[in-house]
Amino acid sequence: MKRAVYFFFFAVSFLIISSCIDDTYYEESKNCEILELSIKGQINSNIVSVANSDTGWVYVSVNVGTDLSNLEVNTVRLSSLAKCETNIYAFRNFVNDVCFKITAENDKISKIWCVRVLYGNAPKQLPFSNMKQWTVAKYDNIPVCLSDGVTYAYFPGNGTDFSPWQHAAKANELTGSFNVNPKPSASNANYASMETKLSGFASYKLVSGAIYTGIFRFNLAETSTPRKMIDMGTPFFYKPQSVKFKIRYKAGEVMKDGRGDNIEENDSQGRPNKDSCDVYVLLQNRSSNDIWYRVGCAWLRTGEDIGSFEDENGFVEITLPIIYGKPSEYELNSKPYMAIGGIRGEVVFYRFEPNGNDFNKLLVQEDYGNAEMNVDHVIVTFSSSAYGDMFWGAPGSRLDVKDIEFVY
CATH 2.60.120.890 in the chain: give the residue spans. Answer: 134-407
Residue 285: per-residue pLDDT: 94
Regions of the chain short of the pLDDT cut 70? 1-26, 202-203
Architecture per CATH, 134-407: Sandwich (2.60)
Residue 371: per-residue pLDDT: 94
CA–CA dist 80, 261 (Å, integer) = 76
Residue 20: per-residue pLDDT: 44
CATH 2.60.40.2340 in the chain: give the residue spans. Answer: 34-119
Q: Residues 140-169: pLDDT tens digits?
A: 889 999 999 999 999 999 999 999 999 999
Q: Which of 183, 228, 239 is nearest to 398 (CA)?
A: 183
CA–CA dist 212, 382 (Å, integer) = 6
Q: pTM for the whole thing?
A: 0.78
List C-alpha distances in Å: 202 to 121, 195, 198, 225, 258: 48, 20, 11, 15, 10
Contact 201, 179 (CB under 8 A): no
Residue 17: per-residue pLDDT: 41
Q: Residues 56-67: pLDDT tens digits?
A: 999 898 988 788
Residue 26: per-residue pLDDT: 60
Q: Which of 183, 176, 208 is nearest to 275 (CA)?
A: 208
Residue 22: per-residue pLDDT: 46
CATH class of 34-119: mainly beta
Q: Which of 389, 382, 397 is nearest to 274 (CA)?
A: 397
CA–CA dist 109, 322 (Å, integer) = 35
Peptide bond into 184 cis (omega under 30): yes
Residue 319: per-residue pLDDT: 98
CA–CA dist 110, 54 (Å, integer) = 8
CA–CA dist 156, 158 (Å, integer) = 7
Give the list of residues 6+ apart from residue 324 with CB closer than 8 angstroms, or none: 239, 283, 295, 296, 371
